[in-house]
Amino acid sequence: MANVLHMNGGLEETSYALNSLLQRKGITRTLPITKENVAELMRSSSFPKGKGRLVMADLGCASGPNTLLLMSEVIKFVHNLSKELGQESPELQIFLNDLPGNDFNHGLEENKGNIYLASSSPPGVLEAYYRQFHMDFSSFLKSKSQELVIGGRMVLTLPGRRGEESSEKECCYIWELMSIALNQMASEGLIDQQKLDSFNLPMYMPSAMEVEAEVEKQGSFAIEHLELWDMNWDAYEGEVMSLPAGDGGYKLSKCMEAVFGPIIAHHFDSSREIIDEVFRRYGLLLSDWMAKESPTLVSLTVSLTKRY
């Protein structure tokens, strides 16, 4: 699993380090929520006022500048808040990276022609995706509750959706465009059709209601804050270093390749040239769609407190 589910390393054109502005913006967008949780924890009566220890874990798997961005900001915040409170700064223990194992394709055999949920996905596929999310998220909450002290905090940011239909266009169309690129290449004999039919992205974009229901059902955490927020597909929109018209799709395809390239390369057992062609076509499809619409990526941020 570690050989497949990882970001593209190094500093090459397709590396995560050079193609993760969307993620960096997400970290920056949610940093105030993380700081608020740290502040509430440090101000609580149960927090040791002497030389205590504050243990933190970043469960992402970034590569490059984003790897330490969040933790470096939190460390500075902890030291500054300690001075403000007149307390000795706690000893900090930090853990990075979490990589689960999972057999995700079971029950998804009927999703041929798609690599994620789509309007054409059969009801059984929609149910299989949700069932897997339920099992994984419940297991995740249970395992993290065992690692946190009572009153401990956890802030999660994950891809989400606003509507209740799991195959809605707002969360799925970005993957339908990838499906189009892959199906084109399969029809031209550039990738294996059977491998395409068995390929399903191992992820799920839940609604706020689904996350809330799973947290309440599992029972270990109380929800302190939950919000949905949007980010433009073009990460460079509004940046000082803006891109020429039409290049937003190219950069977004590189961002996606930095994250999902290793998974696709492994599944299709493809050469570098084939992967380059997959994401070249994907970038063209993205650019065409972004020229017609102003699509956004929906994210969900929830802050949780350990109950018992």
203-224 residues labelled b (16+ CB within 10 A) or e (exposed): bbbbbbebbeebbeebebbeeb
Cα–Cα distance measured from residue 125 to residue 248, given in angstroms and rounded to the nearest whole number: 32
Question: Scanning the structure block, which residue is given the tokens 């099992």?
Answer: 135
CA–CA separation, 6 vs 194, rounded Å? 24
pLDDT at 5: 55
Domain ranges of the chain: 21-306
pLDDT digit string (tens) for the chain, length 308 residues: 555 556 666 777 777 777 777 788 888 989 999 999 999 999 988 888 777 889 888 877 676 777 778 888 999 999 999 999 998 899 888 887 644 444 455 557 778 889 999 888 888 889 989 999 999 999 999 999 999 999 999 999 999 999 989 998 889 999 999 999 999 999 999 999 999 999 998 889 999 999 999 999 999 999 999 999 999 887 766 664 555 555 788 889 998 998 899 899 989 988 899 999 999 999 999 999 999 998 999 999 999 999 98
CATH class of 21-306: alpha beta
> Helix, strand or coil for residue 132?
helix
Can you give the pLDDT at residue 100? 45
Query: Which pLDDT score, from 0 to 100, does residue 242 have?
Result: 53
The predicted pLDDT at position 96 comes to: 74
Query: Given CA atoms 208, 202, 61, 243 in this order, what sign does their dihedral have?
Result: negative
- Give the global pTM: 0.78
Residue pair 243/290 in contact (Cβ under 8 Å)? The answer is no
Q: What is the pLDDT of residue 189?
A: 96
Q: What is the pLDDT of residue 140?
A: 94
Report d(CA 90, CA 86) in Å as an integer: 12
